[in-house]
Amino acid sequence: MTPLQICLLISALLFAIGFAGAVTRRHAILALVGIELMLNAANLNFIAFWRYGAHPEALTGVLFVIFSIAIAAAEAAVGLALVIAIYRHYKTSNLDEVKELKG
Amino acid sequence: MIWIVKNLWLIPALPLFAAGIIAVNKQPARKLAAGLAIGSMALGFLLSLCAFAATLGHHGEGAFRETFSFNWIQFGGQWMSIGWVLDPLTAIMLVMVTFVGMLIFIFSVGYMAHDQNFMRFFNFLALFASGMLGVVIANNLFLLFVSWEIVGLTSYLLIGFWYHKPSAAAAAKKAFITTRIGDLGLLLGMVWLYAQTGTLNFYDHGHGCMEASALAGMVSKTICGGMMVSTAIGLLIFLGAVGKSGQVPLHVWLPDAMEGPTPVSALIHAATMVAAGVFLVARVHPLMAAGAAHVEHGAPVTTALTVVTWIGAITAIFAATIAVAQNDIKRILAYSTVSQLGYMMMGLGVGGVAVGMFHLITHAFFKALLFLGSGSVIHGCHEEQDVRKMGGLKKYMPITFVVYAIGMLALAGFPLFFSGFWSKDEILHHASHWSVSHVPFYLGCTGALFTAFYMTRQMGLVFFGKYRGHEESSHAEHDHSHSAHSSESHSHDPHESPAVMTVPLIILAGFAILLGVIGTPAWPWFDAYLNGELAELQIKFGNLAASAGLMGASALIVLTGITVGWLLYGKRQRKTAAEKDVLEAAQPAIYKLLENKYFIDEIYEATVIRFNAFAAWLCDFADKWIFGGAVLLVKYLTIGASWLYRLTDENVVNGGFDAGCGSIRGGGGILSRLHSGRVQTYLRIIGVALVALIIFLIWGRKA
């Protein structure tokens, strides 16, 4: 097994865990945690393919991941703000109960 | 053309405008209403005098005749023109109608003073006068017919003026429907005349339907039984006159028309409505006289005129006998009117236009006088109309007594000094020379006897003896209805009427005497005037001797009638109001027959009315079962068809739509279930779809 394959396996595992968390958790913040895990699995893939790819000397993979993390941070901030707003409105953060679109 | 001919239309238009202004005036302006009506008649009278003056002094080439026509409506390619004519016949009628009408209007101011509907009364009166004057000036049968119907309508309105009385309402209906029967004949005659001659203008410079060329055309054609078309048309038109002038057998409405206010009776029975029928016959006299086989004493003899004569003679004697046994003061006068109208018709038949018209004019004055006098009597006796409850009024109402006596003597034909004598004598004179039969002459003489008799009876009962009204127990009722004007004079004695009522009476009385002068055999001015000749004073022995015998006989007849009447009713007064009539005591059967007017009303009730009721029932039956059945059938067919439509609609059309809509809604429901709003479900689906996509890509590539 090459190191790339091991990385991809770990990444797939991480993605699966994140997906499972995002899909099954009722709490909005836990679902967000799941989504972050899936995002990081994707980041891990970027790193792995850059590190064991054709041009490891170019910093393309790292740069992409840094961007991705920044976006993830912004997304997490927006997501958390939404969760707080939803909680204030519905007095709950249970995703199953927040299915009405009208305010 | 002189200005009066052009502006002749003003005479009927003035009362029409007056009626219009009164009708639109909302305020109860009594003075305005009376003033307008009387003023319009007074102006009309002045204009009539101008018209009359224009027709005077025109001798030689026939009578003065000027027409004014204009096109009115178009039928296809033909223009219907209407217009008016001024000839002696029109002029004399205009003067008479406006003058007598004006006096009656003035009298009405007093008579109707206490009536609530004073304005309405004058409105109708003015409209009536307008219609009558329209009849008189019309140079066109169509215009005449329109005015004729206005007269018919307003007579209905006026007879039923006190419509809250059932008897008045019934009398108005009776008058309207009975005259309508005659009018149908007139209408048919009019249409036929138009079909034959293509014009309804009487005189139109040689093209009119009363002029030689049109008459010759109608004389040359015959219908079944060799009857000339002109005769048939003349008889149809005469039918209209029979209805309007109350001739037998359509006389039944006229006595009932006494339900109207007394001035109305005077207006209808003296000056206007009934005169309209006689006037119509006078107007179409050329048509009736057309094709005369021979001319006797200046009077043509034709089938149409023979019929006119017979109807007139029968009416004259028939109504005169009924009048003998009536007890209502106005009904006696009504039957005497019917009788006198019979004389006029007879005069037209046997002697021509001048003879009949002369009696019409003199009769208009003395009958208006009598009716207004009876109005004064009724007014003075607190609305009492039964002559048995009057008596002795000579003392209470001296003016009314004198003028009434003059009217009575004129009507009875008292010799030499009263107009009725001369006009009636002229009719009898012509009747005695009539070549067809002498029976009308004898009928006329007998009628004259009865006329003198019943008028004397009325005078005796009303004015002589002593007042019998006090016996009546129901004075409280009278008191109640007349508290307005009898409160100051508490006695129930009759009282003389105010000057506004007596002055017209005095004027009329003057004319009732004087008018005879214009038609005496010695100076036949009237006859000459109508024929456009110069009247000469003919005091020739031969002339006088020819008529003196007849005059003596007729004077004798009148005097006999008056004497018998005086002996039975004047000298020997009845003691109480309830006492039996002298004649009733002597001849109960005949008296009963006369009192019930020969049971004509009952005969009509049993025949015409019953037939009418049967016909109405038949129509009702047919309507209910035959036409109603057809309608019902159509109804059920429609219901069945619509039921079928409903079924199709509900099950086929709606079913199809419903099925389509249901499936769409179902599809939407299924799809909407996917859209649950749960973000995690979406995510799950995305995950599953991704896996499925990956599997598909891997397996698809392998394949």
B686 touches chain A (CB under 8 A): no
pLDDT at res. B487? 40
* Number of domains composing chain A: 1
Mean pLDDT, chain B, whole residue set: 83
Q: Which residues have a Cβ under 8 Å from the Cβ of A103 and sit 6 or more positions away?
A: A89
Least confident segment among B167-176, B215-224, B369-378, B558-567: B215-224
Q: How large is the average pLDDT for residues B455-459?
A: 89
* The pLDDT of residue B437 is above 60: yes
* Identity of residue B373: G
Nearest-by-CA chain A residue for B679: A95
pLDDT at res. B478? 44
The three-state secondary structure class of A3 is helix
Residue A17 pLDDT class (50, 70, 90 cuts): very high
d(C-alpha A52, C-alpha B140), whole Å: 129
**Which residues in chain B touch residue A25, judged by CB atoms under 8 angstroms apart?**
680
Nearest-by-CA chain B residue for A27: B680
Q: Give Rg (Cα) of chain B.
A: 37
Domain coverage including residue A9: 3-97
Q: Is residue A75 part of a domain?
A: yes
Q: Do B677 and A101 touch (CB under 8 A)?
A: yes
Q: Is residue A103 part of a domain?
A: no
Q: How large is the average pLDDT for residues B53-60?
A: 72
Q: Is residue A82 part of a domain?
A: yes
pLDDT at res. B412? 86
Cβ-contact B404, B391 below 8 angstroms: no
Residue B543 pLDDT class (50, 70, 90 cuts): low
Tokens read off for B560: 């006999």
pLDDT at res. A42? 92
* The pLDDT of residue A78 is above 70: yes
* The pLDDT of residue B161 is above 70: yes
For B554-611, write each residue's pLDDT tens digit: 888 888 888 888 888 877 777 776 777 777 777 777 888 877 778 888 888 888 888 8
Residue B148 pLDDT class (50, 70, 90 cuts): very high
Residue B630 pLDDT class (50, 70, 90 cuts): very high
Q: Which residue has the higher pLDDT, B173 or B519?
A: B173
Q: Do A95 and B680 touch (CB under 8 A)?
A: yes
* The pLDDT of residue B26 is above 90: no
Least confident segment among A84-93, B336-345, B575-584, B678-687: B575-584
Q: Do B687 and A19 touch (CB under 8 A)?
A: yes
B26 touches chain A (CB under 8 A): no
* Identity of residue B229: V
* The pLDDT of residue B2 is above 80: no
For B383-413, write each residue's pLDDT tens digit: 788 888 887 788 888 888 899 998 888 888 8
Q: Is residue A102 part of a domain?
A: no
Residue B61 pLDDT class (50, 70, 90 cuts): low
ipTM of the complex model: 0.75
Residue B299 pLDDT class (50, 70, 90 cuts): low
CATH of the domain at A41: 1.10.287.3510
**Which residues in chain A touch residue B684, judged by CB atoms under 8 angstroms apart?**
23
Q: How large is the average pLDDT for residues A77-89?
A: 89
Cβ-contact B215, B290 below 8 angstroms: yes
**Which residues in chain B touch residue A99, judged by CB atoms under 8 angstroms apart?**
676-678
Residue indicated by tokens 């086989």: B293
The three-state secondary structure class of B418 is coil
**Which residues in chain A touch residue B683, judged by CB atoms under 8 angstroms apart?**
19, 22-23
Choosing among B683, B684, B685, B686, which should be mutated to test the A contact, i.e. which has the most A CBs within 10 A? Answer: B683
Closest among B336, B362, B334, B358 to B347, alpha carbons compared: B358
